Structure 1
Amino acid sequence: MSTEAGIDEGRAAFREHRWTDAFRSYSGADRRGGLPAADLENLATAEILTGNTAAGLDTLTRAHEEYLVVGDVASAALCAGWLGMQHMFQGDSAQAGGWFARGQRLADELAKPNAVQGFLMVPAALGKLYAGDPAGALELFTQASELGRRFQEKDLSALGLLGTGQATLMLGQADEALSMFDEVMVAVTSGELSPIPSGIIYCAVIGNCQLAFDLERALQWTAALDRWCEARPDMVSFSGQCQHHRAELFKLHGAWAEAFEAAARAQELSAKGDPQALYGGYYEQGELQLLTGQLDAAEASFAQAARSGYEPQPGLALVVLARGDARRAQSMIRRAAGVADVATRRHLLPALVEIELAAGDTEAARLWAAELDSFARETPMPMVRAAAGQTDGAVRLAEGDPAGATASLRQAWRLWQQLGVPYEAARCRVLIGRACRDLGDEPSALLDFEAAHAELLELGAAPAAAWAASLMKADGRSATGGLTPREAEVIRLVASGKGNRAIAAELYLSEKTVARHLSNIFLKLGLSSRAAATSYAYEHGLAG
């Protein structure tokens, strides 16, 4: 095949989003006779999208140099900007800074204004955004977007609008920001943008919708991203981030096995060439392990997530709380909230309230709950209202106002049910049971505890199920913590020192059945060892 034919095939495959075919055709043509600068850019894009990031950076460097050879300074500056962005995504700040400086120097050489000057504002604006200066970022992103419109450069207009929305959200104006995200997604879904800007925007918009508690938008755009990735099956970049968002939504909707699978897939794709998926893949796995009572594993996952440079909060503070150190958890979450932007702090508020209450600081919990309630009044999305109602109810219980708590909690429970978030709905129902008990309605309290306990067991939420079980036995009706009679027999024999084989012989069961009973006992009671089961049996009169 001639060089020209290979270039033509590469261009056709690139237009049709067949990245592997584009890579093969372009690479062959490059070996035979070399590629023009624009085709080198296409080859670099195909390499980056298929996970060959190092090769893609080398090819993009060649494209930059070729543009300089032919005297196209604007395109050379643009390549330098993209090289800086890619190195930034890889966490190589020194290389990124060098390429941004080179791009800016070349842009300064241009005789008249050009869209490339707007592109080079984007990394500067991102620097301000990540450094906690959303107002400064907003100004630069707005200028970049205006330059994109002026020069009819759609990628730049969209990236500028995305950044404007992110800065606006961090400044606390959620409704305005969400409208901007919807607008920029129109450009993506209509196919107006190049592949890398499209992927950046998809993932950023979904993450920011979740940061703003807009579950419905996050779900819609995650489904769209899923379709976009499925139409490009050989794409690695952005596919890992898609799996991270899938894991988060599966977790919320109670499909925890599927969430674990999606988180593991995000980690795999992160290692294959989508480094932006590193944090989400491990953070979501850590949250799932925390919910199911695997505290050591959760801590290890959060440590892996921290390698990305992002702080794994509130998950890490909640692990510390689950281990019984409320004061340390309080210090951790307060520090994280103190350095966070407005949007991120709002995301931390439910955990802040939970930890403050566990630490006994009801006054601080009330202040955080009031901030969340204020946000819910400004932006009355169902998920914000549900979280605000649940935190308000929890604080009212601590303040000795069970009647007021009941009203807030029942509204929150209905919203969680409508949203399809079973874990929070069940936790909310436990709080409703506590309010009923404080009001002297023990039968209703037990109904709520028992219903929540069953729901939490079905999810596999061992610690929360144990919490519900401990409340069920408060009137003496259920010292067994929800165990069946057979499970109560098994724990009695465990407490007597018998192993699984001896228990199986005594109860005429198989060892496999005994192991299954033990697994159910650990799950129901929130225990993790035979020693803990023995202690529980003696403490609750089951060892006789």
Structure 2
Amino acid sequence: MTAEAGLDQGRSAFHEHRWTEAFESFRDADQRGGLPAADLERLATAEILTGNASSGLESLTRAHEEYLVIGDIPAAARCAAWMAMHLTHLGEGARAGGWLARGQRLVNELAEPDPVQGFLLIPECLGKLYGGDPQGALRLFSQAADIGQRFQDRDLSALALLGTGQATLELGRAEEGLRIFDEVMVAVTAGELSAVPSGIVYCAVIGNCHVAFDLERALQWTAALDRWCRDRPDMVPFSGQCQAHRAELFRLHGAWAEALEAAAVAQERSGRGDPQALYGGHYQQGEVQRLMGKLDLAEASFLQAARSGYEPQPGLALVSLARGDPKQAQTMIRRAAGLADTATRRHLLPALVDIELAVPDLPAARQGAEELARFARQCPMPMVRAVANQANGAVRLAEGDPGDAAQALRQAWHLWLGLGVPYEAARCRVLIGRACRDLGDQTSARMEFEAAHAEFLELGAAPAAAWAASLMRNDDAGAPGPLTAREAEVLKLVASGQGNRAIAATLFLSEKTVARHISNIFLKLGLSSRAAATRYAFEHGLTG
């Protein structure tokens, strides 16, 4: 194939989003005789999108230099702006700053206004946004949006509108920010933007929907991102972030095996060219492990997530709580919440309330619940109302007000059911059961505990199942709560020191059946060893 034919093939593949073919064709043409500046820029994009970030940045540098040689200053400045944004994405702030300064110097040489001036504002905008100055970021994003509109540059307009939504959300105006995200997503889903801005918008919008507790929007846009990524199977950037978002949705909806699979893919993609997936891939894995009671694995996952530079909270604090150290959990969550921006703090508040109740520090728990209630009044979306009602109910229960607690918790339960979030719905039922018991209604209390216990078992949430089991009351003397009569017999023999073979002989069962019974006992009671099972049996009078 001639170099010219390779160029034509590369351009065709690029415009049809066949990134690997575009990369290979441009690379071959480059080796045969070099590439024009515009094709070097296309090669750089194809390399970055296939996970070859290092060579992509080299090609983008060459494109920048070639544009300078031919005197195309706006194009050279545009390459500098994208270098700054890519390097910021990779966490290389110093190099990004250097390229931004070079781009701004080139723009100062222009005799006429150009849309590249708006692109060069974007990294500066992001610096203000992530540096704790959302109001300053909003002003700069507005300037970039004006430039994009003046020159009808759709990529610039979309990025500026995205940033406007993010800054608005940071300023506490959640509904307004989410409406802006919907507007920018119209351009993305209509195919009006190029690949890199499309991916940036998709992932940023979905992440911010989760921060704003808008589960329905997150679900819709994650499904759209998943379709977009499937249409580009050789694309690495953004695909890992898509898997991390999928993992979070799977976790919330109780599909924990699928959540772990998606998290593993996100981790793999984070090492191949999508570094922004590092946090989500490991954090979501850690959350599933924590809920399953695998605390050591969860802690390891959260520490891996911390390598991204983002703090793995509230997960790490909740691990300390699960290990029986509420004071350490309180120290961690208070510090994290105290330093967080408004949107992130709201994300931490449900865990903060749980931890303050465990300490217990009822005034601090009440303060957190009231903060969530104010947020729910400002932004009455279902998930916000669910977490606010659940927090309010839990605090009222601890304050000795079971009647009002049950009402708030019942509202939260209905909302969680509507959202399809089974774990939180089951937690509400346990708290409703406690309220019923405090009101003297033992029958209703047991019904709630049993329903929650069954849901926790189905999810594989061993610690929560043990919590529900500990609250269950059985009228039969000596009955071990959630265990069947046969499982109670097996537990008694385990406590006597017998092995599986001896238990099988005593009960005329196969060893395989005995092993299955023991596995069920461990899961139902939240235990992990025969020693723990023996201790449980003695503590609950099941050895006589």
Question: Aligned-residue CA RMSD in angstroms?
Answer: 1.4
Corresponding residue for residue 195 of structure 1: 195
The offset of 1:476, in angstroms, is 7.2
CA contact (8 A) 1:78 1:119 kept: yes
Q: Distance in 1 between matches of 2:277 and 2:19?
A: 20
The offset of 1:93, in angstroms, is 2.2
Corresponding residue for residue 169 of structure 2: 169
Corresponding residue for residue 404 of structure 2: 404
Distance change in 2, residues 1:507/1:328 (3 Å): same
Instruction: Choose 133-142 or 474-483, whichever is displaced more.
Output: 474-483
Alignment of 1:358-437 (within 5 A): 358-437=358-437
Quick check: 1:66 aligned with 2:66?
yes
Corresponding residue for residue 293 of structure 1: 293
Corresponding residue for residue 450 of structure 1: 450
Query: Which digits, 9 at most, give the CA deviation of each residue in 1:27-48, with x for residues without a partner?
Result: 1111111111111111111111
Please report the TM-score for the alignment, with normalisation by the length of structure 2.
0.98
Q: Distance in 1 between matches of 2:122 and 2:535?
A: 59
Corresponding residue for residue 337 of structure 1: 337
Distance change in 2, residues 1:103/1:501 (3 Å): farther
Q: Distance in 1 between matches of 2:62 and 2:501?
A: 68
Corresponding residue for residue 32 of structure 1: 32
The offset of 1:94, in angstroms, is 2.3
The offset of 1:114, in angstroms, is 1.9
Alignment of 1:47-86 (within 5 A): 47-86=47-86
Instruction: Choose 466-475 or 132-141, whichever is displaced more.
Output: 466-475
CA contact (8 A) 1:481 1:524 kept: no
Alignment of 1:8-157 (within 5 A): 8-157=8-157
The offset of 1:481, in angstroms, is 3.2
The offset of 1:176, in angstroms, is 0.5
The offset of 1:127, in angstroms, is 1.4
The offset of 1:474, in angstroms, is 7.9
Distance change in 2, residues 1:106/1:436 (3 Å): same
Corresponding residue for residue 237 of structure 1: 237
Q: Distance in 2 between matches of 1:155 and 1:485?
A: 66
Query: Structure 1 stretches of 5 or more lacking a match?
Result: none
CA contact (8 A) 2:457 2:465 kept: yes
What is the one-letter code of the residue matched to 1:94?
Answer: A
Instruction: Choose 323-332 or 508-517, whichever is displaced more.
Output: 508-517
Quick check: 1:326 aligned with 2:326?
yes
Alignment of 1:524-535 (within 5 A): 524-535=524-535
Q: Distance in 1 between matches of 2:231 and 2:446?
A: 51
Instruction: Choose 333-342 or 467-476, whichever is displaced more.
Output: 467-476
Corresponding residue for residue 441 of structure 1: 441
Distance change in 2, residues 1:109/1:481 (3 Å): farther
The offset of 1:477, in angstroms, is 6.4
The offset of 1:236, in angstroms, is 1.1
CA contact (8 A) 1:392 1:408 kept: yes
Q: Distance in 2 between matches of 1:478 and 1:31?
A: 81
Query: Which digits, 9 at most, give the CA deviation of each residue in 1:146-199, with x for residues without a partner?
Result: 111112111111101101101110110001000100000011011111100100
Number of aligned residues: 544
Q: Distance in 2 between matches of 1:199 and 1:239?
A: 9
Q: Distance in 2 between matches of 1:102 and 1:515?
A: 68
Corresponding residue for residue 304 of structure 1: 304
Distance change in 2, residues 1:5/1:288 (3 Å): same
CA contact (8 A) 2:474 2:481 kept: no
CA contact (8 A) 1:466 1:481 kept: no
Q: Distance in 2 between matches of 1:394 and 1:477?
A: 31
Q: Distance in 2 between matches of 1:481 and 1:57?
A: 62
Distance change in 2, residues 1:478/1:305 (3 Å): farther
What is the one-letter code of the residue matched to 1:149?
Answer: Q
* SS of 1:532 mapped into structure 2: helix
Distance change in 2, residues 1:359/1:476 (3 Å): farther
What is the one-letter code of the residue matched to 2:46?
Answer: A
Corresponding residue for residue 158 of structure 2: 158
The offset of 1:201, in angstroms, is 0.4
Identity %, equivalent residues: 74
Q: Distance in 2 between matches of 1:506 and 1:490?
A: 10
Please report the TM-score for the alignment, with normalisation by the length of structure 1.
0.98
Corresponding residue for residue 314 of structure 2: 314
Instruction: Choose 141-150 or 310-319, whichever is displaced more.
Output: 141-150
Q: Distance in 1 between matches of 2:179 and 2:279?
A: 27
* SS of 2:424 mapped into structure 1: helix
Corresponding residue for residue 204 of structure 2: 204
What is the one-letter code of the residue matched to 1:251?
Answer: R
Distance change in 2, residues 1:66/1:407 (3 Å): same
Instruction: Choose 499-508 or 77-86, whichever is displaced more.
Output: 499-508
Query: Which digits, 9 at most, give the CA deviation of each residue in 1:220-258, with x for residues without a partner?
Result: 001100110111111111111111111111111111111
Q: Distance in 2 between matches of 1:468 and 1:475?
A: 16
What is the one-letter code of the residue matched to 1:449?
Answer: F
Corresponding residue for residue 178 of structure 1: 178
CA contact (8 A) 1:292 1:460 kept: yes
The offset of 1:512, in angstroms, is 3.1
Q: Distance in 2 between matches of 1:332 and 1:214?
A: 26
Corresponding residue for residue 464 of structure 1: 464
Corresponding residue for residue 218 of structure 1: 218
Query: Structure 2 stretches of 5 or more lacking a match?
Result: none
Distance change in 2, residues 1:478/1:89 (3 Å): farther
What is the one-letter code of the residue matched to 1:328?
Answer: Q
CA contact (8 A) 1:243 1:266 kept: yes
The offset of 1:97, in angstroms, is 2.1
Q: Distance in 1 between matches of 2:532 and 2:367?
A: 37
What is the one-letter code of the residue matched to 2:424?
Answer: E
Distance change in 2, residues 1:327/1:106 (3 Å): same
